[in-house]
Every structure is written in structure tokens, then in C-alpha cells.
Amino acid sequence: MADHFAGGMRAVQPHRLERNDPCWCGSVKKYKQCHMREDEKIRAFELEGHIVPDRGMRKTKAQIDGIRESGKINAAVLDHVAQHIRAGMSTLEIDQLVEEKTREFGAVPAPLGYEGFPKSVCTSVNDQVCHGIPSSDVILREGDIVNVDASTIYKGYFSDSSRTFLIGQVSPEKERLVRVAKECMEAGIAQVKPWQFLGDMADAVNAHAKENGYSIVVDIGGHGVGLEFHEEPFVSYVAPKGTEMLMVPGMVFTIEPMVNMGSEEICIDDSNGWTIYTEDGMPSAQWEVTVAVTEDGCEILAW
Ligand code: MF3
Ligand code: CO
């Protein structure tokens, strides 16, 4: 019942509801006792010229419960990686850890086969920004930093989170990059509140990176998530305050800034069509959570 409306692009055109009609969200409550006031508030922002979410981007309680269950598995998978990751291991072994652990929970790794992606997780080392493909040829060495980006499908619900791991003793410069990248994500999380804008969150992320002399990747961002792997909206981490989409209770999206030590410029590995590198060859770090906008702030659904 709660699942009848689609996420993102597949959202149906809303029709006008009367006060005593059943709410569109599937709650079986009357519209006036459910989403009516929130809808009116959103409409007022829209009339002021702001970008607002459609109904499909506002998840129901049942859907958020499902995404939370998926997110717990995703976090447990990354905990498992954290326990085993070490110098000398190949990134293919990380893929095997993720694959095994995810299946143990009765879940499916979302990256596998996604638009042709060949593995179950993304592993991005040093100057790889994201979408690194696990390989037996890539051996982790002391001093490397590696982002492990896991995504889980459980009972049809998607979650997405990533962490950057330090392999053995890492240079103070790289260690600082990884720490600041995590702080950027946290600064973004602190700005997730209903009736503010995604640009408010982005500006907090970007400001923290800049203060530390780093740059944020512009061309790749976050996304809505939950009923599909990648839903609308696109989530920028460089947009100015007061811009981008209004945050409304029920929206679920990722906060996953890619923080570069040097320039924001990136390039793609043409040989595999996936792996993104920094153009200047300097290191990049990333942390990612899936969050839900609540009535009074946010809940982290996957970490
Ligand atoms: N997990 C990545 C993200 O944060 C998406 C990877 S797409 C894949 O959005 F196909 F490479 F897995
Ligand atoms: Co993501």
C-alpha cells in the first residue's frame, strides 16, 4: 500500500485532493489529518520560485523503515571490511568480503551489474576519486588511502554509504585530507533540516573544504536513494546557500562529497569507462551517508 508511488523520475502527476480524501501517502488517514498542511507549505515555497520535491521524493514511514533496515546491513558490511582491510590485500579481496557479508544478510550488493558495473563494491585508491573497480592487480600498500563505497538492496530498499580507510602508516597530509573529508560530510549532515535548502547543506560542506585548502568535486554529486539506487534530486556539495531543492520530511538522499587535495578537476579512465581520477594526480577522499529528512532534523539511515 505504502509502496504504490514511485521514486524520482517515475513519480506520477499529483491530482488535487479534497480535505476529507484519503491522503496520497497511503497512510489511510484523511488528507487534512496527514500531508495537507505540509503540501500547502511546499506550494508556498514553490510559488516563491524555489525548487521543491515531488511526492515520489517524500518517502512514507514504511519506506523509511525499509531503507533503515537496508542501511544497517550496509553499515555492517563496511564494519566487516574495516576489520579485515590491511596492506598486501588486493581490492578484489575487499569485493569478496562485501559480496560474502551482504549475501549472509540475505541482501544483494547494488553495484553488481548496475549499468554494467562489473563488481559488488567500488574501491578507490589515492588519486582515484570514485567508482574504482576491484581488481586482483590492485594491491593495497602501506600509506595508501582507499575509499570503500558499498550499497545494499534489501527487500527492495536501497542504501548507500562509504568510508575512506588508512592503510598502515599514512603521511600526515593524506591523513588530514581523510579527516577533513569526514568533517565535510558531518558539516553537511548538521545542515539537514526541513524547510532549509540543499544549498545550505552544500555550502557548509564546501566552506569546510575551502577553509582547509581543499576543493570539492563539482561534476559528480550525491542523489536521492531508497526505492532505486539513484533517484532525483542530484545533490551538489558546492551550491550556494538558499539554492537547490527545499528539504522536506521524508526525503532520503546521500551526503557524499569528494574532497580533493588539489584541484577539483577530474577525468575518467577510458579503458574501463568507470574509474574517476583527479586530473592533477593528487589524492582524493570521500565519506558517504544516507540520510532522511525528519520533522525536526535528520536521521542517518546508512553510515
Ligand atoms: N555507490 C556510488 C554512489 O555513491 C555509485 C556507484 S555506481 C556503481 O553513488 F555502479 F559504480 F556502483
Ligand atoms: Co551514492
Which pTM value belongs to this model? 0.94
12 assigned to some structural domain = no
Q: Whose CA is nearest to atom 11 of ligand 1?
A: 131
Ligand 1 and 231: CB distance under 6 A: no
- Distances in whole angstroms, Cα of residue 153 to Cα of each of 79, 159, 186, 232, 267: 17, 7, 25, 18, 29
Give the residue, by CA position, lying nearest to ligand 1 atom 8: 111
Residue at 220 is within a domain: yes
| Residue 20 forms part of a structural domain | no
Ligand 2 ion: residues within 5 Å (CB)? 160, 254
Measured CA to CA, the distance from residue 277 to residue 125 in angstroms comes to 9
What CATH number does residue 225 fall under? 3.90.230.10
Ligand 1 mean position to 131 CA, how many Å? 6
Distance of alpha carbon 24 from alpha carbon 220, whole angstroms: 33
Structural domains in the chain (count): 1
CA 101 to chain centroid, in Å, comes to 20
Q: What is the pLDDT of residue 13?
A: 54
Q: Is 122 in the pocket of ligand 1 (CB under 6 A)?
A: yes
Residue 50 lies in a domain: no
Q: What's the number of CA atoms in the CB half-sphere (13 Å) around residue 221? A: 22
Burial classification of residue 157, based on how many CB atoms lie within 10 Å of its CB (0-12 exposed, 13-18 middle, 19 or more buried): buried
- Residue 273 belongs to some domain of the structure: yes
pLDDT at residue 166, as a whole number = 98
Query: Mean pLDDT of successive 10-residue segments in the chain (303 residues)?
Result: 38 74 92 96 98 96 97 98 98 98 98 98 98 98 98 98 98 98 98 98 98 98 98 98 98 98 98 97 98 97 98
Print the domain residue range for 203.
Answer: 57-302
- Helices (H) then strands (E): counts for the chain: 5, 15
* Residue 43, in any domain of the structure: no
- What are the residues whose beta carbons fall under 8 Å from the beta carbon of 16, sequence distance 6 or more? none
pLDDT of residue 2: 34
194 Cβ inside 6 Å of ligand 1: no
The separation between the first and the last C-alpha atoms of the chain, rounded to the nearest angstrom, is 28
Residue 234 Cβ inside 6 Å of ligand 1? The answer reads no
Q: What is the pLDDT, as a whole number, of residue 10? A: 47
pLDDT of residue 14: 61
Position 1 scores a pLDDT of 32
151 lines ligand 1 (CB under 6 A): yes
| Ligand 1 centre distance from Cα of residue 224 (Å) | 12
Among candidates 160, 204, 205, 198, which has minimal Cα distance to 181? Answer: 205
Task: Judge whether 175 lies within some domain.
Answer: yes
